[in-house]
Chain A
């Protein structure tokens, strides 16, 4: 694969993400049980599965269109807060990519960062609040530091996983978990864990396509 990431790669990424969420749905819901409403895994599973089914019927022909379409599906079908949050992440990324047929890594990183800022604004959250942002921003920093997808994607996957683990000692400041105050300490944030899966899927999709 060249350094340009084409529609086929983005389709592989979303397919790998749907598979990872399907595989880990029970674990994500388990993480959500003590601090949330025990639906994170099942909500995301429903959303990503519906998005894959919709894409089979209506394949999209650019990376931007693919992300916009999938984001719309997530907003419609997830049913929990992760729907608008991940939907906004994908749609803002897709919007930033425009109608390019293929995207170099720095452009993808810039688009993802714009989208992450939109997610932070939507949720009114900041890094350190024990949210998906605590996996997302470290992953973007790793993408920035990487020179090519082959090293940047695995590094981003590691950074996101470490960021998710680092939410364990944090007190949640957003969502239902924030009502628990100090009792939210000692739990990995489910949104950070699912974000880590998305970046794991990014590395998997590239590794298998290369």
Chain B
């Protein structure tokens, strides 16, 4: 990829601890030139919930021009990301909500993004995490 730009990854959870811990795990497993992965969890005033500002700030923080993949846990986390995408001017371009399990998807996305893959490939890797059967 030109300029060595990597896709950025934002993890949105109702819990800031979940988002930040999964981000740390994904960075650790992401490999050598780890792509930027950050958490955007919890409500604006602290506590359980979702903050559109935190999500938008995190997306801009990890954006280096190669795009941003957003993974979310459920409910308002998913709806807030979708709403920000629909607004058109709140997130970096291109940004995408990836349909993936949060933990497994984050790790797959981080490994793929760290290898310099583009946003399509990062999203596909994260979505494939649904296919990984455990029993």
**Mask: chain A, 167-199; 1 = CB below 8 Å from B; 0 = not:** 000000001100000000000000000000000
Checking B51, B79, B80, B84 against A123 with a beta-carbon cut-off of 8 angstroms, the contacting residue is B79
**Mask: chain A, 79-92; 1 = CB below 8 Å from B; 0 = not:** 11111110110010
A72 to B64, CA, bound (A): 26
Q: Does A33 contact B (CB under 8 A)?
A: no
A182 to B70, CA, bound (A): 33
Checking B51, B83, B86 against A79 with a beta-carbon cut-off of 8 angstroms, the contacting residue is B51
**Mask: chain B, 33-66; 1 = CB below 8 Å from A; 0 = not:** 0000000000111001111110000000000000
Which residue of A75, A77, A122 has the most chain B CB atoms within 10 A of its CB atom? A75
Q: Does B24 contact A (CB under 8 A)?
A: no
Are A76 and B50 also in contact (CB < 8 A) when A88-B83, A122-B83, A123-B79 are?
no
Checking A43, A76, A91 against B53 with a beta-carbon cut-off of 8 angstroms, the contacting residue is A76
Are A87 and B83 also in contact (CB < 8 A) when A79-B43, A176-B75 are?
yes
Residues of B within 8 A of A77 (CB): 44
A77 to B45, CA, bound (A): 9
Q: Quick check: A81 and B83 within 8 Å, CB to CB?
A: no
Residues of B within 8 A of A118 (CB): 86
Which residue of B48, B53, B80 has the most chain A CB atoms within 10 A of its CB atom? B80
Q: How large is the interface on A (under 10, 10 to 19, 20 to 34, 35 or more residues)?
A: 20 to 34
Checking A43, A75, A80 against B83 with a beta-carbon cut-off of 8 angstroms, the contacting residue is A75
Q: Does B76 contact A (CB under 8 A)?
A: yes
A107 to B83, CA, bound (A): 24
Are A83 and B75 also in contact (CB < 8 A) when A77-B44, A88-B86 are?
no
Nearest-CB distance from B73 to chain A (Å)?
12
Are A83 and B82 also in contact (CB < 8 A) when A75-B52, A76-B52, A76-B53 are?
no
Nearest-CB distance from A92 to chain B (Å)?
9
Residues of A within 8 A of B76 (CB): 79-84
Residues of B within 8 A of A84 (CB): 52, 76, 79-80, 82-83
A76 to B57, CA, bound (A): 12
The 3 A-B pairs at the shortest CB distance, nearest first, are namely A79-B49, A84-B83, A81-B76
Residues of B in contact with A (beta carbons under 8 Å apart):
43-45, 48-53, 75-76, 79-80, 82-84, 86-87
Residues of A in contact with B (beta carbons under 8 Å apart):
37, 39, 43, 75-77, 79-85, 87-88, 91, 118, 122-123, 175-176
